[in-house]
Chains A and B, each alone.
Chain A
Amino acid sequence: MIPLYSPGTSALHRAPAGAKLVALVAVGLAVSIWRDSAWVAAGAWAMVLCGYMLAFRRWRGAAALLSRLWALKWLALLIAVPQLIFVPAPEAVITSARILAVVMLAGLFTLTTRVTAVMELVLLGFRPVERLGFGRLGLTAERVALAMSLTMTAIPTVFGFYGDIREARRARGAKQGPGAVVSTTTALLVMTLKHAEETAEALVARGVR
Chain B
Amino acid sequence: MTNSETETDAPRQGGSGRRRSAPSVGSAARNISQMAIFAALVAVLGQVAAIPVGPVPITLQTLGVMLTGAVLGPWRGAGAMLLLNALTAAGMPLMSQGSGGLGVYAGPTAGFALGFIPGALVIGLIIQHRWPLSWWRTIVGVLLGAAVIYACGIPVMAYQLGISLQQALGVNLIFLPGDGLKAAMTVGITHSLARAYPAAFTGRR
Contact = CB atoms under 8 A, between A and B. Distances in A.
Interface string A66-94: 00000110110111011101110001000
Contact of B107 (A75, A118, A135, A206): A75
Contact of A192 (B29, B38, B98, B199): B38
Contact of B41 (A105, A147, A158, A207): A158
A109 B99 CA distance: 14
Contact of A193 (B5, B32, B71): B71
B14 interface: no
A181 B60 contact: yes
Contact of B161 (A21, A83, A109): A83
Contact of A158 (B10, B40, B102, B167): B40
A148 to B, nearest CB: 6
A143 B90 contact: no
Interface in B189-205: 189, 192-193, 196-197, 199-200
Given A150-B33, A200-B33, A204-B26, A104 B103 contact: yes
B16 interface: no
A164 interface: no
Given A142-B3, A184-B49, A150 B87 contact: no
21 contacts: A1-B43, A2-B93, A71-B98, A75-B108, A79-B108, A79-B161, A82-B168, A86-B164, A99-B160, A142-B3, A150-B36, A151-B43, A154-B37, A157-B40, A185-B189, A186-B196, A190-B196, A193-B34, A196-B34, A201-B29, A204-B26
Contact of A151 (B39, B55, B63, B192): B39
Q: Specify the main secondary structure of chain A where it touches its partner.
A: helix
B28 A110 contact: no
A3 B44 CA distance: 14
B26 A200 contact: yes
A203 B56 contact: no
